[in-house]
């Protein structure tokens, strides 16, 4: 019999940048949160069966994973430097802008090409996130992809 897999039961995004995201990014964020509610694998490496609440934020140039138990009590905080993510986030922002423009212009072939690029960036972001969380947090690839979307929503330049 296999051990129960830990998962996120709730995700709380914290930060003022959430008030500045575009409608397209808001839709991406909502879709990622909804998909994570349905299915995810995420838990501290030392606590395989943990059902947890994740407070995700950007603080002082760091991506902060504040993992809590079901009573919202702290379990583990993982802070990652944002530097390695910045270029991917910037590229993702540019793709979202291009996508919005292509939709406005009704350019179907361009929309499809940009969508392929977005998938590629999500994959790169998920791989980087998985690598940076290695030995701290166990995370599956689909969960990492969705969390990368949320990271992009959190990290906005003024």
Give per-residue pLDDT as tens, 88-99: 999 988 988 898
* pLDDT at site 118: 87
Helix and strand counts by DSSP (H, E) for the chain? 4, 6
- For residue 78, the cross-strand partners are 65
What tokens does 65 get? 């994973």
Q: What is the CA radius of gyration of the chain?
A: 16
Cα gap 3→138, rounded to integer Å: 14
pLDDT digits (tens, 9 = 90+) for 8-24: 999 999 875 555 677 77
Write out the E strands in the chain: 7-14, 42-44, 51-59, 62-68, 74-81, 137-139
Q: Is the pLDDT of residue 157 over 80?
A: no
pLDDT of residue 16: 57
Where exactly are the structural domains of the chain?
7-154
pLDDT of residue 17: 57
């Amino acid at each position: 019999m296999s051990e129960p897999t830990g998962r996120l039961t709730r995700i709380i995004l914290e930060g003022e940048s959430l008030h500045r995201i575009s409608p397209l990014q808001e839709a991406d964020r909502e879709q990622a949160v909804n998909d994570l509610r349905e299915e995810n694998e995420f838990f501290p490496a030392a606590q395989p069966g943990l059902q947890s609440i994740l407070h995700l934020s950007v603080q002082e140039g760091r991506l902060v994973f504040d993992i809590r138990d079901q009573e919202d009590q702290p379990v583990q905080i993982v802070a990652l430097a944002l530097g390695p993510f910045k270029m991917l986030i910037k590229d993702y922002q540019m793709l979202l802008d291009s996508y919005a423009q292509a939709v406005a212009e009704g350019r179907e072939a361009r929309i499809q090409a940009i969508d392929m690029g977005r998938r590629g960036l999500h994959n790169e972001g998920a791989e980087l996130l998985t690598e940076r969380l290695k030995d701290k947090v166990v995370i599956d690839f689909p969960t990492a992809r969705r969390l990368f979307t949320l990271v992009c929503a959190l990290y906005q330049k003024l």
